[in-house]
Chains A and B, each alone.
Chain A
Amino acid sequence: MIDILWAVQDKLGCIDGEAMSLIAEKTGTYRVEVEGVVSFYAFFSSVRKGKIVIRLCDDIVDRHAGVFAVAKSFENTLGIKLGETTPDHWFSLEYTPCIGMCDQAPAALVNDVVVTNLTPAKVKGIVRTLKKTRDPRALVTKTGDGNNGHRLIAAMVKNNIRHTGPVLFDKSPAEAGLKQALTLSPGGVLELVVDSRLRGRGGAGFPTGKKWRYAAAAQAALRYVICNADEGEPGTFKDRVLLTERAQLLIEGMTIAAYAVGAAEGILYLRAEYRYLKAYLEHILARRRSRGLLGDNIMGKAGFHFDIRIQMGAGAYICGEESSLISSCEGKRGEPKNRPPFPVQSGYLGLPTVVNNVETFCCVPPLIARGPKWFTSIGTPHSSGTKLLSVSGDCTRPGVYELPFGVSVQDVLDKAGAKDPAAVLIGGASGDMIGRPEFQRRICFEDLPTAGAITTFSSHRNVLEIANYYMDFFIDESCGYCTPCRVGNVFMKQGLEKIMQGLGEAGDLDYLRELGKTIIATSRCGLGHTSPNPILSSMKSFPLVYSALLNAHPNEFQAGFNIQSALDEARVIAKRRSLIYDVSYGDEE
């Protein structure tokens, strides 16, 4: 379904009512089903967009890098406002959350083409080129390093690999892991993965070996292996680099997983923002098929069949959550599913499914080739191996760093050349914001877990503004299924804004704490379990910033209520002033 919708959106610039009816008819479903899916995803639109859609990342990192000036410049040169389409239906301009280019912000997507390091001055040239050529590809005059220069990618994106570690950038010969795995029984492979204590790199850190064992043990005729390349967490861009530079390794890892759990089919779920990598990844898959590394009897192993298809996402953070991702692969709205049953029991199409992050799969081949002993010798007791970190924000060397687990935040900041770091967000929007006294803490599952995002903020930045942006992000990205998350996040934001306006009182902090606790305890999925974090963790790490903004209101009136603004509308309608609240009448107040 998602593939059909993409084709229609690309062709018509929209999926209008007529198209929806037709799709429903041809696929034997109801129009409302199709409409539900279309309205769910940010990259689908029921009203006609321009042939060229410019999506500017307005994440806080880009804001600090000057995206508003860039946006103004786009508005002026195109003659439209954000959210609008030019009358000739050539250009649309809009904001989008993080597109995974935080290390080269401000960045934008022009259809599938990524443009980075934008400035207001560059915008004029961009629009001129687009008007002349009508082809976003013409914007890429100089391609980035490594495979970004590959003819099937041809992107100006830079890898910014600042530090290579022993696992992901291991120098073992290609396919050594897969070769080794195929000499063992599937159970033998499972054992190695369990012994290595590999944990998921997508955020939750679930032991990978355990997950695979559950899936292998589930009774079913068919099993699935899915790679989560949705990378939606703001500030995370390490999977982008792995997909560009380590695609062979990733597919090798997925193939080993398939062998271990007995899966015959796999899916690579690629976020819409990374569509520029799709042709290249298809090419890698095709090459592996022709070399007997995918398809039937892989590497001559009789009876081991496995192949992978790529599923495009369509712009929804929640689709990174594994059960939403599965819904999305099934062509539905990307809403989470109730659990249990867990995906390993009943996932894609009700079949046992292993979902792992890109980096998790990439760890597997070297781990098999070199053995669990080697793997557990790196990192800490409960977090073996290395972590690929995406560092961005106020630093001189933003980019990806492969470092062993247990590295301290301060070490990372030093390596990245953080400028006067005062606050660091570990783990993106859903992570924790910490201050200077905590920079000695270590990055590992025992202390500060992260899916990879390290966002640094200098002492010039306002932590409340940062928290406020991320609340906006969660409000936009909440799937809306359950009330604590859909409504609670809005209340959290209102509470924060009240404090930011200087109208807050001590009780408001307790209110935010309580509300945050309720949202975490009662939400249905991981989004609601983490959405209050930006506020809660910044309250914990920066109590003085919050308390400095509080005021006491001794008369016990609510500071948040403003009688003057509440009366404005009525004054206009009645064409008179208030007998009570307009001072010139000589009354009180």
Chain B
Amino acid sequence: MRKKRVATVSLAGCFGCHMSLLDMDERILELLQDVEFDRSPLNDLKKFTRRCDLGIIEGGCCNEDNVHTLRDFRNNCDVLVAVGQCAIMGGLPVMRNAIMHSDDPLRECLEEAYCSSPRVYNPSNQIPNDPALPLLLDKVYTCVDVVKIDYQIPGCPPSGDVLWATLSALVRNEPIDLPYDMVKYD
């Protein structure tokens, strides 16, 4: 049987979910018997080399580049898994959507962050606007707002054990067993 090809990416996330992926510890070697990584920060591949079986997404979409990448994943992966609170519900970044009763929420958010907040030191009073910076979206979108998502693994981040259990079951196409201890949150 050929190895399953897996791609991963971090969009508007903190890389915590990827760190958690590494928390599988030595089990990742076991996983590598069935899996090879394509595009992923783990191997620093920045483009898809081939179509993949599985795409793992951390983080939601806060700018145009996130959308572009997510759609690229949708186009190149058979199954997409959203991992972590940011990908599923927007997480911390989505807090900016709370500025909703404004005519221009994005501007209000940027001004608060870069100019008007009392703790900001910004003598030029400018909002970063390098042409290389991707444009921000009007609000933060979750992955499922933008493309179809096949599975979600909640948690911030989901523990290495949960990731191991779900991903290994997925690549082996086996039913999943999630004991209560593993999925209870307290």
B contact residues around A567 at 8 Å (CB): 64, 135, 137-138
A455 to B137, CA, bound (A): 44
One of B30-38, B140-148, B156-164 contacting the partner:
B140-148
Residue B175 interfacial (CB < 8 Å): no
CB of B138 within 8 A of CB of A569, answer: yes
A558 touches B135 (CB 8 A): no
CA distance A565 to B137 in the complex (A): 9
Please tell me the number of chain A residues within 8 Å of chain B, measured between CB atoms. 22
The CA of A560 and the CA of B144, in the complex, are separated in Å by 11
- Minimum CB–CB distance for A547 against chain B, Å: 20
Report how many A-B pairs have Cβ atoms within 8 Å: 65
When the two chains form their complex, are residues B68 and A580 in contact, meaning their CB atoms are under 8 A apart?
A: yes
Q: Note all chain B residues with C-beta closer than 8 A to A566.
A: 67, 137-139, 141
Question: Is the Cβ of B64 less than 8 Å from the Cβ of A558?
Answer: no
The closest CB in chain B to the CB of A507 belongs to: B148
Which of B11-19, B90-98, B102-110 lies on the face that meets chain A? B102-110
A576 partner, pick from B65, B110, B131, beta carbons under 8 A: B131
Shortest distance in angstroms between B153's beta carbon and chain A's nearest beta carbon?
19
B45: chain A residues at CB < 8 Å are none
Let me know if A557 and B146 touch, CB within 8 A: yes
The reply to whether the CB of A581 lies closer than 8 angstroms to some CB of chain B is yes
B5 within 8 A of A: no
When distances are taken between beta carbons in the complex, the residues of chain A under 8 Å from B104 are: 569
A569 touches B68 (CB 8 A): no
Complex CA gap A565/B67 in Å reads 13
Interface set, chain A 95-109, CB cutoff 8 A to B: none
Q: Does A568 contact B (CB under 8 A)?
A: yes
Which of B67, B75, B105, B131 sits near A563, CB closer than 8 Å?
B67
CA gap between A570 and B147 in the complex, in Å: 21
- The 0/1 profile, CB within 8 Å of B marked 1, for residues 64-91 of chain A is 0000000000000000000000000000
A574 and B74: CB pair below 8 A?
Answer: no
Mark out the residues of chain A between 538 and 588 whose CB falls within 8 Å of any chain B CB in the assembled complex.
Answer: 555-558, 560-561, 563, 565-571, 573-576, 578-581
Instruction: Tell me, in angstroms, the Cα distance from A341 to B130 when the chains sit together.
Output: 65
Residue of B nearest to A560 (CB): B145
- B147 to nearest A CB, angstroms? 5
- Is A574 in contact with B129, judged by CB distance below 8 angstroms? yes
Enumerate chain A residues within 8 angstroms of B105, measured Cβ to Cβ. 569
Q: How far apart are the CA atoms of A563 and B70 in the complex, in Å?
A: 12
Minimum CB distance partner of B63 in chain A: A570
Contact with A along B109-145 (1 / 0, CB 8 A): 0100000000000000001010101111111010011
Q: Are A555's CB and B135's CB within 8 A?
A: no
Tell me whether A569 and B107 are in contact (CB under 8 A).
yes
Whether B65 pairs with A558 at a CB distance below 8 angstroms is: no
Q: A557-B146, A561-B145, A574-B135 are in contact. Are A580 and B106 (CB under 8 A)?
A: no
Q: Which residues of B sit under 8 angstroms from A563, Cβ to Cβ?
A: 64, 67
Q: A556-B148, A573-B110, A576-B131 are in contact. Are A565 and B138 (CB under 8 A)?
A: yes
With both chains docked as a complex, state the minimum distance between the C-beta of A371 and any C-beta of chain B, in angstroms: 62
Residues on the A chain within 8 Å of B138, using CB: 565-570
C-alpha gap A571/B147 in the complex (Å)? 23
Pick the residue among A556, A569, A574 that contacts B147 (CB under 8 A): A556
Q: A557-B146, A558-B146, A560-B145 are in contact. Are A569 and B106 (CB under 8 A)?
A: yes
Are A570's CB and B71's CB within 8 A? no
Complex interface: chain A residues within 8 A of B107 (CB): 569, 573
- Complex Cα–Cα for A558 and B134 (A): 21
Return chain A residues, CB-CB under 8 Å to B137: 566-567, 570
Instruction: Give complex CA distance A27, B121 in Å.
Output: 52
Chain A residue numbers with a CB within 8 Å of B68 are: 580-581
Q: How far apart are the CA atoms of A473 and B129 in the complex, in Å?
A: 44
Give Cα distance in the complex from A571 to B110, angstroms. Answer: 14
25 A–B pairs (Cβ distance < 8 Å), ordered by A: A556-B74, A557-B71, A557-B146, A558-B144, A558-B147, A561-B141, A563-B64, A566-B137, A566-B138, A567-B135, A569-B106, A569-B107, A569-B138, A570-B64, A570-B106, A570-B136, A570-B137, A570-B138, A571-B135, A573-B106, A574-B129, A576-B129, A578-B135, A579-B131, A581-B64
B interface residues (Cβ-Cβ under 8 A, vs A): 64-65, 67-68, 71, 74-75, 104-107, 110, 127, 129, 131, 133-139, 141, 144-148
